[in-house]
Amino acid sequence: MMLQLLEKVIELENWTEGKGLIVRGAKNTFSSGSDLNAVKSLGTPEDGMALCMFMQNTLTRFMRLPLISVALIQGWALGGGAEFTTACDFRLMTADSEIRFVHKEMGIIPSWGGATRLVEIIGSRQALKVLSGALKLDSKKALNIGMVEEVLQSSDETECLGEAQEWLKQFIRGPPEVIRALKRSVSSGKELCLEEALQTEKDLVGTVWGGPANKEAIARKGKFNK
């Protein structure tokens, strides 16, 4: 699955017209965590470090995609699955779903960037509680601490996907070049120092200023819809 995820990320890196994506699991389960039989065969610190480096690289590349991403959390998102949700820009949950960073119970810590990203999402105090307590975050608790944006009305696999698609539409409405530039600008603001982020912003505006979408917007009556 990890190799398939990397392949999918590479495919998305070459999707030049894309604006957004939804990540979800099969059969109403986002991800139930590692296959323990596979984990047993990776028992040395060197194995753990290699796995860590592979998944950190894959999820960092995923985060840097110029696409607005949403994790659609149905059922369980445990362990590495919980870490994957933090690599998405937004998270939506069904009412009966659960996020849990179970790493402490397994005698390890998150190593795919999950702890670092969790601090950014909910703050250091809440992140420490969630990780050290291996807390079960049901939809209500996750919403209260700012882990997710919204709890969906339906738990049906097809219907909740439709809800998630409708939710995402509000953020990807517009020309691909503008949406993609916005995502790149925000990503650089998170990762780079101020001077480098400002330079990136300047470079990005040069790709859209005077472009078709900009000219069309200027030609419209009025500056914006109130």
Q: pLDDT tens digits for 16-34?
A: 999 999 999 998 899 987 6
Nearest to 101 by CA among 40, 142, 161, 70: 142
The CA-CA-CA angle for residues 48, 49, 51, to 5°, reads: 65
Question: What pLDDT does 48 receive?
Answer: 83
Domains in the chain: ranges and CATH: 1-172 (3.90.226.10), 176-220 (no CATH)
Reported as a pLDDT band with limits 50, 70 and 90, residue 45 is confident
Residue 9 has pLDDT above 80, yes or no: yes
Question: What pLDDT does 191 receive?
Answer: 93
State whether the Cα torsion 102-108-110-116 is positive or negative: positive
> Bigger pLDDT: 34 or 50?
50
Per-residue model confidence as pLDDT tens digits over 166-213: 999 999 999 999 999 999 999 999 999 999 999 999 999 999 999 999
Distances (CA, A) of 102 to 39, 93, 156, 173: 14, 18, 26, 37
State whether the Cα torsion 181-186-190-192 is positive or negative: positive
Question: Bridge partners of 151?
Answer: 93
| CA pair distance 224, 222, nearest whole angstrom | 6
Nearest to 152 by CA among 1, 24, 47: 24
Question: What pLDDT does 156 receive?
Answer: 92
Reported as a pLDDT band with limits 50, 70 and 90, residue 42 is confident
Reported as a pLDDT band with limits 50, 70 and 90, residue 35 is low
| CA pair distance 153, 161, nearest whole angstrom | 11
Residue 221 has pLDDT above 70, yes or no: no
Q: How many residues does the chain have?
A: 226
Per-residue model confidence as pLDDT tens digits over 145-166: 999 999 999 999 999 999 999 9
Calculate the average pLDDT of the chain. Answer: 93
Residue 40 has pLDDT above 80, yes or no: no
